[in-house]
Chains A and B, each alone.
Chain A
Amino acid sequence: MAFSTFSGGIHPPENKGPSEGKAFSNLSVPQLCYIPLQQHVGKPAKPIVEEGETVREGQLIGLADGYISANVHASVPGKVVKIAEHPTVYSKRGMCVLIEAQGAFSTSGKPLESIKWESMSGLELLNRVAEAGVVGLGGAAFPTQVKLHPPRNRQIDTLIVNGSECEPYLTVDDMLMRTFPGEIVEGIRIVMKILGISKALIGVEKNKPHAIASLKKKIAELAPPENIGVAALKTKYPQGAEKQLIYSLTRREVPSGGLPMDTATVVQNVGTIFAVREAVALGKPLFERYITVTGPLVKNPGNYKVRLGSLIADVIEECGGLVAEPAKIIMGGPMCGVALDGMDVPVVKGTSGILVLGHADVRPMDYLPCIRCGRCVAVCPAGLVPNEMANAIEKGRLDLVEPSRPFDCIMCGSCSYVCPSRRPLSHFIKLAQEKLRRRQKE
Chain B
Amino acid sequence: MLDQIFPSVSSIISITALGAAFGVILSYAKIKLHVERDPRLGYIEEALPGANCGACGFPGCSGYATKILDGAAPINLCMVGGADAVERISRIMDIKAEALKPKVARVHCQGGCDVSNNRFEYNGPKNCAAAQQIREGFKTCAYGCLGFGDCMEACPFEAIHMSPTGLPVINYDLCTGCGNCVVACPRNIISMVDKSFDIHVMCRNIEKAPVMKKGCSVGCTACNRCVKACKEVFADNPDIETAITVTNFLADIDYTLCINCGKCAEVCPQKVIEFNRVPVVVG
By a beta-carbon cutoff of 8 Å, the part of chain A in contact with chain B is: 91-92, 339-342, 364-365, 367, 394, 396, 424, 427-428, 430-431, 434-435
Residues of A within 8 A of B136 (CB): 91-92
Do B134 and A339 touch across chains, with their CB atoms under 8 A apart?
Answer: yes
- Of B121, B127, B138, B142, the residue contacting A431 (CB under 8 A) is B127
Do B135 and A92 touch across chains, with their CB atoms under 8 A apart?
Answer: yes
By a beta-carbon cutoff of 8 Å, the part of chain B in contact with chain A is: 119-121, 123-125, 127, 129-130, 133-136, 138, 142, 153-154
B215 to chain A, nearest CB (A): 13
Residues of B within 8 A of A364 (CB): 121, 123
- Of B125, B138, B142, B153, the residue contacting A424 (CB under 8 A) is B125
B128 to chain A, nearest CB (A): 10
Do A431 and B129 touch across chains, with their CB atoms under 8 A apart?
Answer: yes
A364 to B120, CA, bound (A): 12
For the A-B complex with A91-B136, A92-B136, A424-B125 known, give 6 more contacts whose Cβ atoms are closer than 8 Å.
Answer: A341-B119, A341-B120, A424-B123, A430-B130, A431-B127, A431-B129
- Of B123, B124, B142, B154, the residue contacting A92 (CB under 8 A) is B142
Residues of B within 8 A of A428 (CB): 125, 130
- Of B119, B121, B133, B135, the residue contacting A430 (CB under 8 A) is B133
A257 to B129, CA, bound (A): 25
A365 to B134, CA, bound (A): 17
Beyond A92-B136, A339-B134, A341-B119, whether A427 also contacts B129 by CB under 8 A is: no
Do A427 and B121 touch across chains, with their CB atoms under 8 A apart?
Answer: no
Residues of B within 8 A of A91 (CB): 136
A291 to chain B, nearest CB (A): 21
Do B133 and A434 touch across chains, with their CB atoms under 8 A apart?
Answer: yes
Residues of A within 8 A of B153 (CB): 396
A431 to B153, CA, bound (A): 15
Residues of A within 8 A of B127 (CB): 394, 431
A392 to chain B, nearest CB (A): 12
A210 to B170, CA, bound (A): 64
Do A340 and B125 touch across chains, with their CB atoms under 8 A apart?
Answer: no
B56 to chain A, nearest CB (A): 15
- Which A-B residue pairs are the 7 nearest by beta carbons? A431-B130, A427-B124, A92-B136, A341-B135, A341-B120, A364-B123, A424-B124
Q: Chain A: which residue is nearest B129 at the CB level?
A: A431
Can you list 24 A-B contacts (CB < 8 A)?
A92-B135, A92-B136, A92-B142, A339-B134, A339-B135, A341-B120, A342-B119, A365-B123, A396-B153, A396-B154, A424-B123, A424-B124, A424-B125, A424-B130, A427-B130, A427-B134, A428-B125, A430-B133, A431-B125, A431-B127, A431-B129, A431-B133, A434-B129, A435-B129
